[in-house]
């Protein structure tokens, strides 16, 4: 019998997210890891450090730190976390020009050495970077996706859990649209094991519907600005623990063919009335990457918010100085 292979996961960008992601991917025994970075020593140092956790964390995996794209050979999944992060006062869009250049270089490396991989883009501004990555690699759209919705939905769930004093594990929350401050938390879908959050808030506030609505509006706004809230507090970087956990959810869904439904930035071909753009929508993620985009009927308010969010993504993509040929 031939050797039974195990997954190989490449992480481009060995900064805060890349390092934590590599650590958790190994401690969850998801596969061998290649950590790449442009900075010499950073991926090598982190790979030695993570390797030395293997005995205590009980995993037998290979972690390679490198500055050479050739080490990506044979990767099943490539996660792109390379790029600049926001500083206080910056929007994600402010990163577009610097990170576009990085995306070109990274995509070319992946195309050359891991032509059969699935790609999860994490770098900001997210939806624009996924778009560029797909165009530069030329990979099929279902194999190139962006992580943002899992994180934004987790943030929404967290804030609801704190407000209600209930375990976050029982909270379902969905955030769609572009990964910017106009993202769209779907209030109608927020529930605690099926019980609508709006009803629980009304009960908590003794039937005072207008106060309950105000509280929900605040939860929505906090979700939309949660990334910036962390940036402001950290001062020299952005969130990294929760983004890493959210990426792991997507990696596991692909490697284990879970067919889970989650928000991800996926290429729309008419779904929700959008043609030819990457935007956060409900997707089934499995062994084939984005296997399906799950449509539902938005109400008027949701549609207005969603269209506004999509317009922001479109404006950013159309503003790129050197837009590659449209796919
Ligand atoms: O939900 C989401 N998608 C996000 C995205 C949530 C949080 C942060 N998000 C974005 O991820 C953030 O705005 C950044 O664009 C990326 C990475 O965030 P991270 O916190 O990991 O940034 P770091 O610690 O600065 O790490 C970036 C690494 C760093 O080691 C650089 O040397 C490297 O990227 N880098 C490169 N690697 C390879 N190739 C090139 N050209 C390159 N340039 C920088």
Spatial neighbors of 55 by CB under 8 A, at least 6 apart, are none
| 191 close to 160: Cβ distance less than 8 angstroms | no
Using the Cα atoms of residue 213, residue 214, residue 218 and residue 220 in order, give the sign of their dihedral: positive
Alpha carbons within 13 A on the beta-carbon side of 184: 29
pLDDT for position 93: 86
Is 289 near ligand 1, meaning CB less than 6 Å away? no
- Distance CA(211)–CA(277), nearest Å, equals 37
pLDDT digits (tens, 9 = 90+) for 277-318: 999 999 999 999 999 999 999 999 999 999 999 999 999 999
Query: Looking up tokens 């997707």, which residue turns up?
Result: 283
Which residue numbers are catalytic?
Answer: 179
pLDDT for position 322: 54
Spacing, Cα 247 to ligand 1 middle (Å): 13
pLDDT for position 9: 98
pLDDT for position 4: 78
pLDDT for position 321: 56
pLDDT beneath 50: ranges in the chain: 1, 324-327
Spacing, Cα 142 to ligand 1 middle (Å): 23
pLDDT for position 325: 47
Spacing, Cα 175 to ligand 1 middle (Å): 22
Is 123 near ligand 1, meaning CB less than 6 Å away? yes
């Amino acid at each position: 019998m031939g050797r039974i292979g195990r997954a190989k996961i490449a992480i481009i960008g060995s900064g805060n997210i890349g390092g934590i992601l590599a650590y958790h991917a190994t401690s969850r025994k998801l596969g061998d890891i290649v950590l790449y970075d442009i900075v010499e020593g950073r991926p090598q140092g982190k790979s030695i450090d993570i390797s030395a956790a293997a005995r205590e964390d009980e995993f037998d995996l290979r972690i390679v730190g490198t500055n050479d794209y050739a080490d990506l050979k044979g990767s099943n999944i490539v996660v792109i976390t390379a790029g600049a992060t926001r500083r206080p006062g910056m929007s994600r869009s402010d990163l577009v020009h610097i990170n576009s250049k990085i995306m070109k270089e990274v995509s070319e490396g992946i195309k050359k050495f891991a032509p059969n991989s699935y790609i999860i883009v994490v770098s900001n501004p997210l939806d624009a970077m996924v778009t560029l990555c797909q165009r530069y690699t030329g990979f099929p759209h279902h194999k190139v996706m962006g992580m943002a919705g899992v994180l934004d939905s987790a943030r929404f769930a967290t804030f609801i859990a704190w407000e209600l004093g209930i375990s976050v594990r029982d909270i379902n929350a969905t955030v769609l649209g572009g990964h910017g401050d106009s993202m769209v938390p779907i209030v109608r879908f927020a529930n605690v094991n099926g019980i609508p959050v709006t009803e629980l808030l009304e009960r908590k506030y003794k039937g005072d519907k207008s106060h309950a609505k105000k509280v929900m509006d605040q939860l929505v706004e906090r979700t939309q600005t949660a990334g910036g809230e962390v940036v402001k507090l950290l001062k020299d970087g952005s969130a990294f623990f929760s983004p890493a956990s959210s990426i792991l959810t997507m990696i596991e869904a692909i490697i284990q063919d879970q067919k889970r439904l989650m928000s991800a930035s996926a290429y729309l071909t008419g779904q929700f009335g959008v043609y030819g753009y990457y935007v956060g929508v409900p997707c089934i993620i499995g062994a084939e990457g984005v296997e399906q985009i799950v449509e539902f009927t938005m109400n008027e308010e949701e549609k207005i918010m969603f269209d506004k969010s999509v317009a922001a993504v479109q404006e950013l993509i159309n503003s790129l100085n050197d837009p590659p040929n449209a796919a």
